[in-house]
Structure 1
Amino acid sequence: MELIDLVLKAGRSAVELSLFVLLPIMVLMLCVMRLLEARGVMDWVVARLAPVLRPVGLTGLSVFAALQISFVSFAAPLATLAMMEQRGVSDRHLAATLAMVFAMGQANVMFPMAALDLRLGAALVFSLAGGLLAAAATYHVFGRNLPAFEKPFDETVKHPTAEDGKGVLDVINRAGAEAFRIAVGVIPMLVLSLVAITFLRQLGLFAWLTGLLGPLLQAVAIDPNMIVLTLTKALAGGTAVLGLVDDMLREGAIGTPLVNQSAGWLVHTLDVPGFAILISAGKRVARVARPAVLGACVGIALRTVAHLAVG
């Protein structure tokens, strides 16, 4: 009976978080993104940013991947990475793009966290800075021996158009359906993650680790709750962290200052689920994962320090 109660509680939390927090935000953001794409605004932005970002190893499609992860979800750049591989983008540029995606904060966690008092403006700025540093570190240091030659290729992305009212309505309907798929799609993983986390907490594993490492963390002014949050992030991903943070805030275990201070450390895609999903974009993407991960660590370190400094 205790196990059933645990599963029901986790399921209720997962559904509430997905449908009442994640879904409305994703509908709004996706509608805005898709309408901007349909109007050609996104292509205009990409075309002007691409030359500026070339020195850090990013291409026009890389810019689009950055916009996708910042305003859609962590899985959105998957199609762009696959497209980059198919169109012949060099391994070096591919590694830089993957590092950027790993290091940046994903929209499906950052925007719902804004409802939990995350300072969204600062988080987006730090996310972009971390992504650019990750790309530069990968392109110029960790991936400098990767092939950089590439043939000319098409960097445009095909979008639906919205020339009239019907076109606009079609774009909004498709964006709403996409947002619903994203929100519903995270429920199974979120339920399993919350069940596993609650089960481990009841077994006393987190309490044991907190008791073991807590004094060391407190000595350097780090909240011991970061142990649970970090393990959850690494093993279950950002959405699970979002659910756990929501529960801990309701229980009064943590406060909103910790949400902002820990965002750089906890909100990115370099975790087990995110890594597995993103490297599935293609064989060359998987092949450049090692330098990309190293570069991403540099970007995440920058974001962590920035969030701690701002508080």
Structure 2
Amino acid sequence: MVEFLDIVLRAGRSGVELALFILLPVMVVMLALMRLLEAKGVLDKLVILLAPLLRPLGLTGLGVFAAMQISFVSFAAPVATLAMMEQRGASDRHIAATLAMVMAMAQANVVLPMSTMGLSLGTTMLFSLIGGLVAATASYHVFGRHLSNREGNVDETLKHPVAEDAKGVLDVINRAGAEAFKITIGAIPMLVLALVTVAALRNSGAITALTALIAPLLTPLGIDPAMVLPTLTKYLGGGTAMMGVMGEMLRDGSASVATLNASIGFLLHPLDIPGIAVLISAGKRVASVWKVALMAACVGVAVRTLAHVMLF
């Protein structure tokens, strides 16, 4: 019992430090910037500019906005946009394409903090965008071509606060700070639980035994056996939990920055149990196309994985 409590206390301290000293500052700055650009109408203009170019890939204006949300806010941010698409009459085919894109892209709430650990930010975001567009295209033109393409009178206007004076700017910043704090505090339980579970499995020898069992299959493929632990954590506990585990591995030397960058293509996206559960909660029609989106997202993640492996 004493050993278990020691594990809990050490994991708790690591989880809280990661959330408050890395995740929170990064999210406050990025969310404030994102919300200010939104309030000033910059994002509206960008969506209007990009929407016609991406329409052949299966993305509408709201789909473009969802890509910006996952890239600069968090994986949960596009939930509101997906719900909006459903309520405003977007077709099932367009919803599936947007959902596939979001599932295949890297989420900002993990990408940005991990850039302080050595993650190549620009490369990760570029490959994330490419993977997302590939997933959207695969969903719209291949896996989801049987879905309804009928649209209602879709209103793609983005409703958000404006910042026309100093008070408006301050209000936007304060709301962004509160949103960042909420995201950070919400991440702490998963971080702590993931770190406790990992530490317990390590102390019991389970991770060592599993790694030794799988290593003969991974080594010929050029995959570092050390990635077994973060991969299991990611697909069962989500990207935030993986971030906590990778941070520990980088600190104790069991993983390197080069390994992190080479493997991030299949480690960083919402295509995991918690991520899928959150995204399909956007609405009934969103949930009805999740299988199509999942298959297309796998194609996008595969493209990202190959790109990272080839570059790093």
TM-score class, shorter: over 0.9
Deviations, residues 91-119 of structure 1 (Å, cap 9, x unaligned): 11000000000000000110111101111
Secondary structure of 1:92's counterpart equals: helix
With the length of structure 2 as denominator, give the TM-score of the two structures. Answer: 0.98
Cross-structure match for 2:173: 172
- Which position in structure 2 is the counterpart of 1:275? 276
Q: Partner residue of 1:301? A: 302
Match of 1:202 in 2: 203
Q: Aligned Cα RMSD in Å?
A: 0.8
Aligned twin of 2:148: 147
How far off is 1:125 after superposition? 0.5
Q: Is the 8 A contact 2:132 2:300 kept in 1?
A: yes
Superposition pairs of residues 1-311 of structure 1, within 5 angstroms: 1-311=2-312
Cα distance in 2, alignment partners of residues 272 and 6 from structure 1: 25
1:240-270 CA distance string (max 9 Å, x none): 1111111001101111101110111100000
* TM superposition shift of 1:217: 1.2
Distance 1:189 1:46 in 2: 33
Q: Which string of whole-angstrom CA distances, capped at 9 and with x for unpartnered residues, describes residues 252-296 of structure 1?
A: 111110111011110000001101111111111110000100000
Cα displacement (A) at 1:309: 1.1
Mapped contact 2:88–2:153 kept (Cα < 8 A): no
Q: Tell me the alpha carbon deviations over residues 198-253 of structure 1, each in whole angstroms, 9 at most, x when there is no partner.
A: 22222222211111111221122210011111101110000011111110011011
* Amino acid paired to 2:28: V
Distance 1:91 1:191 in 2: 38
Rounded to whole Å, the distance in 2 between the matches of 1:204 and 1:98 is 39
Q: Distance in 2 between matches of 1:79 and 1:106?
A: 15
1:303 shift after superposition: 0.3
Q: How many correspondences in the alignment?
A: 311
Alignment partner of 1:262: what SS? helix
**What is the CA–CA distance in structure 1 between the aligned matches of 2:74 and 2:11, rounded to whole Å?**
23
Cα deviation for residue 78 of structure 1 reads 0.8
Consecutive unaligned residues of structure 2, counting only runs of 5 or more, are none
The one-letter amino acid paired with 1:28 is V
1:166: how far off?
0.7
- The letter of the residue matching 1:223 is D
TM-score, normalization: structure 1?
0.98
Q: Following the alignment from structure 2 to structure 1, what is the Cα–Cα distance between the partners of residues 11 and 75?
A: 23
What CA distance in whole angstroms lies between the structure 2 residues aligned with 1:198 and 1:59?
44
One-letter identity of the residue aligned with 1:13:
S
* Unmatched runs of 5 consecutive residues or more in structure 1: none
Name the aligned partner's letter for residue 111 of structure 2. M
Worse overlay, 3-12 or 197-206? 197-206
For the residue of structure 1 that corresponds to 2:161, the secondary structure is coil
Distance 1:200 1:144 in 2: 44
Runs of 4 or more above 6 Å deviation? none
Q: For residues 3-61 of structure 1, give each alpha carbon's deviation from its aligned partner in whole angstroms, at most 9, with x where no partner exists.
A: 11111111111101100000010011001000000000000000111111111111100
